[in-house]
Structure 1
Amino acid sequence: MARIASVLILAVCVSLTLSSFIPQSQASLACITCVATVKGVEGKVLAEGESVAKKDVDAICLKEVPTKSAEHLCEEYGEHEVEVMVDLIKKDVPPKTICQELKKC
């Protein structure tokens, strides 16, 4: 019983520590931005195949979430993230799961 209590206390401490580094609103915005972007990229991938470049993802992101606060989040997608996104879209992975894989949700 004492071990379970220790594990629970440790989990709460880790959670509190992490939340002090990443504000919840910023984490939520990153997730919302990612899901909207993946949905937009999904349409392009299904229509055009693999010809999705980073600049395409940036443009789709800015179109899907046209807010000043999300702008920097759109710029964070690199070539690796685009490759993962396209690969998982082709495997029919849901947008939220893709964003979890990209550590945005």
Structure 2
Amino acid sequence: MLRTTLALLLIASTVSTFILPQSQSSSLTCLTCIATVKGVEPLALAEGDAVAEHEVKQLCLKEAPTPAAEKTCEDLGDEAVEVMISLIKKGVPPKTICQQLKKC
């Protein structure tokens, strides 16, 4: 009985360490997005629409290299990249871009 209880407590504490609460998860998503937009800015201004989705995902992973951020990076599709580049070229701040993409 004691071993079972200890095992369950260990499992519960391990799981809670790796699963972020919703507020922290959304904060991480927002921060990852902002860092990615800042990283993409020079490329978007230099190359414009030629910036590819895979380049943005690579930059995202480089800017926020955490396992929890990988999902945010993988969720960036062609449409999000197009919106991001379009807004960067218009001089929209990174946080506003991420709010538009519903990441913040």
The two structures have a TM-score, normalised by structure 1, of 0.77
Match of 2:72 in 1: 73
Deviation at 1:47, TM superposition (A): 2.2
Query: Partners in 1 of 2:85 and 2:47 — Cα distance?
Result: 11
Output aligned runs, 1:42-53, within 5 Å.
42-53=41-52
Deviation at 1:43, TM superposition (A): 1.3
Runs of 4+ aligned residues of structure 1 deviating over 4 Å after TM superposition are none
Match of 2:92 in 1: 93
CA RMSD of aligned residues (A): 1.1
Structure 1 residues not aligned, in runs of 5+: 1-21
Aligned residue for 2:50, secondary structure, equals coil
Query: Partners in 2 of 1:45 and 1:101 — Cα distance?
Result: 17
**Aligned positions, number:** 84
Match of 2:17 in 1: none
Structure 2 residues not aligned, in runs of 5+: 1-20
Match of 1:61 in 2: 60
Contact kept, 8 Å, 2:29 with 2:103, in 1: the verdict is: yes
Match of 2:35 in 1: 36
Q: What amino acid is aligned across from residue 60 of structure 2 in structure 1?
A: C
Structure index of larger Rg: 2
Identity %: 60
Deviation at 1:48, TM superposition (A): 2.0
